[in-house]
Amino acid sequence: MANRDYENWMNILREKGYRITPPLSAVARIMSECIRVMDAREIFLQARHDLPDIGLMTIYRALEKLEDARLVQRVHQPKGCQSFAPAPAGHQHLLLCENCGRHEYFSGDDLDAWFNGIGKDKGFYISDHWLQLFGQCNTCKRHINHE
pLDDT over threshold 90, residue 89: no
Strand partners, 75: 83
| Residue pLDDT, tens place only, 5-20 | 899 999 999 999 999 9
Q: Give the pLDDT of residue 86.
A: 87
Distance CA 64, CA 85 (A): 13
Distance CA 147, CA 140 (A): 11
**Is the Cα dihedral 105, 106, 109, 115 positive or negative?**
negative
| Residue pLDDT, tens place only, 38-63 | 999 999 999 999 999 999 999 999 99
Give the count of beta carbons closer than 10 Å to the beta carbon of residue 82: 12
Give the count of beta carbons closer than 10 Å to the beta carbon of residue 128: 6
Domain boundaries, the chain: 1-87, 89-147
Nearest CA to 40 out of 30, 49, 50 is that of: 30
Q: Give the pLDDT of residue 147.
A: 61
Angle among Cα 87, 92, 95 to the nearest 5 degrees reads 85
pLDDT confidence band for 75 (50 / 70 / 90):
confident
* Mean pLDDT, all residues of the chain: 86
Strand partners, 135: 97
Distance CA 52, CA 46 (A): 10
pLDDT over threshold 80, residue 28: yes
Strand partners, 105: 94
Q: Is 101 left (phi over 0), alpha (psi -120 to 50) or beta?
A: left
Distance CA 98, CA 137 (A): 8
pLDDT over threshold 60, residue 1: no
Tell the CATH topology of 1-87. Answer: Arc Repressor Mutant, subunit A (1.10.10)
Among 70-74, 80-84, 127-131, which stretch is predicted with the lowest mean pLDDT?
Answer: 127-131
Please tell me what DSSP assigns to residue 84.
Answer: E
pLDDT confidence band for 105 (50 / 70 / 90):
confident
Tell the CATH topology of 89-147. Answer: Dna Ligase; domain 1 (3.30.1490)
